[in-house]
Amino acid sequence: MTISIGVLFSGGGRTILNLLDCIDRGELDATISIAIASREGLAGTDRLIERNIDVAIAKVDGMSLEESDARTIAWLEETKPDLVCLCGYLRLLEIKPWMQGRVINIHPSLLPAHGGKGMYGMRVHRAVLESGDLTSGCTVHHVDGEYDHGPTILQRSCEIQKNDSPQDLADRVFDLECEAYPEAIRQLVATLQP
């Protein structure tokens, strides 16, 4: 069964490019039916357009965050993808009844550690290193009404090296994310079938 995926992002789009690569290699039986950028001027928008993916821009100049969030929900309601994947999306998405169990996120730490509002990108990796944790990794989870919360689908972990910089750790964790997100999607496909 080929599933339709909606992707939402707020940055460079690398996670979506990884999913597209998996689709192109035949490792993921899916199509990206809608891509939504949280605002204008994101590097990910240009990268997706280069891959022939149309991108809807939620927040344009002069628009409130509430208006842009409403546009995002309207676009998702209109397309109703089988699965909605948050790919570095920094807004809290309202989960409508039809979306229950169909919205997932990937976070660059082993949740529940180092998650929550404002915990994204290098902030997470700095917090992990400052905490003295011996391991880090990534978590794919179902999305509910809170940041970085909801039932875990899977986690992948790596050891923290003695001299790791936040960037070193980020690079290692992103390699894990590139395996974990497609795997989580494959696991969910069986549960999404009618």
Report the catalytic residues.
Answer: 107
How many Cβ atoms sit within 10 Å of the Cβ of residue 171?
12
Which residue pairs, CB below 8 angstroms and at least 24 apart, start in 52-57? 53/16, 53/20
Please, which residues have CB within 8 angstroms of residue 151's CB and are 6 or more apart in sequence? Answer: 141, 142
User: Number of H helices and number of E strands within the chain?
Assistant: 5, 7
- Distance, CA of 101 to chain centre: 15
Alpha helices in the chain (DSSP H): 14-24, 43-50, 65-79, 122-131, 166-192
